[in-house]
Amino acid sequence: MMPRLRFETISKSFPGVNALTDVSFEVAPGEIHGLLGENGAGKSTLLRILSGVFRPTSGTVFVDGQAVAFRKPMDAREAGIAMIHQELQQVPHLSVAQNMFLGHSLTRLGGLLVSRREQEARAAEALSMIDDTIDPSAPISSLKVAQRQIVEIGRALLDKARVIAMDEPTSSLTPSEFDRLAEVIARLSASGVSIVYVSHKMDEVFRICQRASVMRDGKLVGMVDLKGTSEKDVIAMMVGRELMREEHNSFVTTTVKLEAKNLSSSSKIKDVSFKLHKGEVLGIAGLVGSGRTELLRLLAGADRLSAGAITIDGKTMNFTSPREAIAAGIGLVPEERKREGIIPLRPVSTNMALASLSSFSSAGMIRTGKLRSTARDLLKRVNLRPFQLDRPIRLFSGGNQQKAIIARWLAARSQILLFDEPTRGIDVGAKSEIYHLIEDLAREGHSIIVVSSELPEVIRLSDRVLVMREGRIAATIPRDQLTESAIVAHAILGARADATNAPIAQPV
Ligand SMILES: Nc1ncnc2c1ncn2[C@@H]1O[C@H](COP(=O)(O)OP(=O)(O)OP(=O)(O)O)[C@@H](O)[C@H]1O
Ligand SMILES: [Mg+2]
C-alpha cells in the first residue's frame, strides 16, 4: 500500500542548531502515528516542515506518493494537511469562527469569500463533532484554554484533511475531553485520515496510536509497534537511559507560612481557607473551571479579594498588584506561558531574570556578570537545552521555555512558589527532574502549591491535596489517603465520594 505520508532524509538547521538530521519514516493511510521525543528533540520542527511553516534544509516530504514542497501554510492546507500547533495561535478579538477561518483558502487578501453566517454555520458543523457547547460567534478571548484548544481541532476538521498533525493537542484537556478527542481521532482514522500525534503523555500515545517514531537530538532513533512494547522501553529509547523510580519525600514542618482565611473573589472563589506550612508541597486538584487557577491568582496578587484575608508569617497582606506579592516572596509559574509568561524576543537569561531585576542591578545598572552566572547556574539546574543563554526565548522548544520560567522564580528566591500545571508540555525525563527540583525546594524550606490536572503528578508531589469544586474546597486529602479515585470522587461527586469505593477523606 502506498504510504499516505513519507519523510525522506529530512534535515533542518537553524543558526547554531541542527534541529533535524536525516529523518525518514512513513505513515499509512488512516494510521495514527505517534511522534515522541524529549523537549527540543525536533518534533515541532518536523511538523512545521510538513505544514509549510518551514522548508527543510534538505530532504523531501511525499504525500500519497507525490513530492511536495510547500512554500507557505496555505499550500499545505490546500493539499489536505492540517496542523494543530503546540502554542495556540489565535487572534483574541476575533470570534471563534473567524479564528477557525484564519489562513483558510476561503479568506483571501483579508476578505471573506463566504458570508459570516455561512462561516459560522460551517464552524459550528466542524465543532459539533467534538464539542457542541462552543458558540462560533463568541469572541475567542471569552473561552478557557481547554475550549480554545478544541477550536484549534475544529479548525483542522474544517478542511477535508488527508493528514492532521497534532502537536500536543491535549495538553490542556481534561480526561473526559481527551476521551472525546480519542473518539474523534478514531473516527477520522476509520475514514482514512492519517494522524501524526505528538504528546508527552505516554498513556495517551499507547491508547490511541498504533506505531510511534521516537526522536532524540534531531535524529530518528527508532520506530516502534506500540502493541508489543512497554512504556518503560519507549521512555528509555527517548531519553537514552532508564528513569529512576519516583518516590515521595516529605519535608513539611509545623510552621505556618501562609494562611488563607475565608477567601472569596467576585469571579469564582467562595470561602476558601487553608494553611500552607514551611517545607510543604500542597497539591490542588479539581476539574477545569473549579477555581484552581483563580485561587492562585488571588494568592499572587493578580486578582482582588472580595472577602477574607491572606497572612504570610502571621502578617496580614493586602495585595493590590502582583508586584506586591512578589515583594512578599510569592512566585507564580503561570498556566499560560505564552500570554502571561515571556518576552519572546529577549534572551532566555533576561526572561529568567524578569522577576528579580533589582537583585541584578546596582545604581540603576544591570550587573551582567552576576546575571550571567546566576542564569548559568539556574538554567543548568532546570536542564535548559540547548544551553545558550543569549538565545531569544522564542526560539526554544515549548518545554524549554517552561523550564526557563521555573528558573525565574528560583532566581527571585521566592519563599512561596505557586505552580500552575508545572509540567504541561514537559518531557518525561525533564518532568522527573522538575519533580526532584520541587522536592529540593521543599527540603530547602520553601512552601509550595502545585495545581495539576495530572493525578499521578499531584500524588507524586503532594504532602496533602485540596480538591476544589465550583470555587470551594470540596475536601482535604492527607498523604496516606491519597489515591486517584479519592481525588476524582471529590472533584466530581463531592459528598457522594463513598459511592466509588474511594477512601473517605476528611471534609474541611
Ligand atoms: N525558529 C527557530 N529558530 C531557531 N531554532 C529553532 C527554531 N525552532 C526550533 N528551533 C530549535 O530546534 C530544536 C528542536 O525544537 P522543536 O521545537 O522542534 O522541539 P520539540 O521536539 O518540539 O520540543 P518540545 O517537546 O519542547 O516542544 C530546538 O533546539 C529548538 O531550540
Ligand atoms: Mg514542540
212-250: pLDDT as tens digits? 999 998 999 999 999 989 988 898 888 876 666 668 999
86 in contact with ligand 1, CB cutoff 6 A: yes
Which ligand does the CA of 216 lie closest to?
1
What is the whole-number distance in angstroms between the Cα of residue 42 and the centre of ligand 1? 6
Residue nearest to atom 29 of ligand 1 (CA): 40
8 A C-beta contact, residue 482 and residue 459: yes
DSSP type of residue 16: T
409 in contact with ligand 1, CB cutoff 6 A: no
213 in contact with ligand 1, CB cutoff 6 A: no
Residue nearest to atom 13 of ligand 1 (CA): 19
Residue nearest to atom 8 of ligand 1 (CA): 395
Residue nearest to atom 24 of ligand 1 (CA): 39
Q: What pLDDT sits at residue 84?
A: 85
Structure-block grid coordinates of residue 383: 536542564
Residue nearest to atom 18 of ligand 1 (CA): 42
39 in contact with ligand 1, CB cutoff 6 A: yes
Q: What pLDDT sits at residue 253?
A: 96
400 in contact with ligand 1, CB cutoff 6 A: yes
449 in contact with ligand 1, CB cutoff 6 A: no
Q: Ligand 1 pocket: which of 21, 395, 402, 427 to mutate (most atoms <8 Å of CB)? A: 395
Per CATH, the architecture of 243-329+415-508 is what? Answer: 3-Layer(aba) Sandwich (3.40)
Structure-block grid coordinates of residue 299: 494568592
What is the whole-number distance in angstroms between the Cα of residue 118 and the centre of ligand 1? 38
Mean pLDDT per 10-residue section of the chain, whose length is 508 residues: 95 92 97 94 95 96 95 89 80 89 68 76 86 89 80 80 88 75 87 92 92 95 93 86 74 97 93 97 91 94 95 95 92 69 90 86 84 92 90 89 85 90 82 86 95 90 96 95 90 54 40
Q: Does domain 5-239 have CATH number 3.90.550.10?
A: no
Q: What pLDDT sits at residue 341?
A: 72
43 in contact with ligand 1, CB cutoff 6 A: yes
165 in contact with ligand 1, CB cutoff 6 A: no
Any alpha helices (H) in 382-483, and if so which ranges? 398-411, 428-443, 455-461
The structural domains of the chain, with segments of one domain joined by +, span 5-239, 243-329+415-508, 338-413
Dist CA 30 CA 4 (whole Å): 8
Residue nearest to atom 12 of ligand 1 (CA): 19
Which ligand does the CA of 431 lie closest to?
1
Non-local (6+) Cβ contacts of 6 within 8 A are 24, 25, 26, 27, 61, 62
Q: What pLDDT sits at residue 504?
A: 39
8 A C-beta contact, residue 469 and residue 490: yes
454-491: pLDDT as tens digits? 888 999 999 999 999 999 999 999 999 999 889 988 98
- The residue type found at 200 is H
Which ligand does the CA of 199 lie closest to?
1
Which ligand does the CA of 219 lie closest to?
1
What is the whole-number distance in angstroms between the Cα of residue 252 and the centre of ligand 2? 35
Residue 62 burial class via C-beta count within 10 angstroms: exposed 0-12, middle 13-18, buried 19 and up: middle
- State which ligand 1 atom lies nearest to the alpha carbon of 218: 14
DSSP type of residue 289: T
pTM value?
0.74
Q: What pLDDT sits at residue 105?
A: 67
Residue nearest to atom 17 of ligand 1 (CA): 397
Q: Ligand 1 pocket: which of 12, 23, 44 to mutate (most atoms <8 Å of CB)? A: 44
Q: What's the order of all strands across the beta sheet hosting 281-286?
A: 330-333, 416-420, 447-451, 281-286, 464-469, 472-478
Residue nearest to atom 31 of ligand 1 (CA): 396
Q: Rounded to the nearest 5 degrees, what angle is found at the Cα of 301, between the Cα atoms of 415 and 393? A: 70
Residues near ligand 2 ion, CB 5 Å cutoff: 44, 86, 397-398
387 in contact with ligand 1, CB cutoff 6 A: no
Does 243-329+415-508 match 5-239 at the fold level?
yes
Which ligand does the CA of 217 lie closest to?
1
Which ligand does the CA of 387 lie closest to?
1
8 A C-beta contact, residue 388 and residue 419: no
Q: Ligand 1 pocket: which of 21, 45, 202, 406 to mutate (most atoms <8 Å of CB)? A: 45
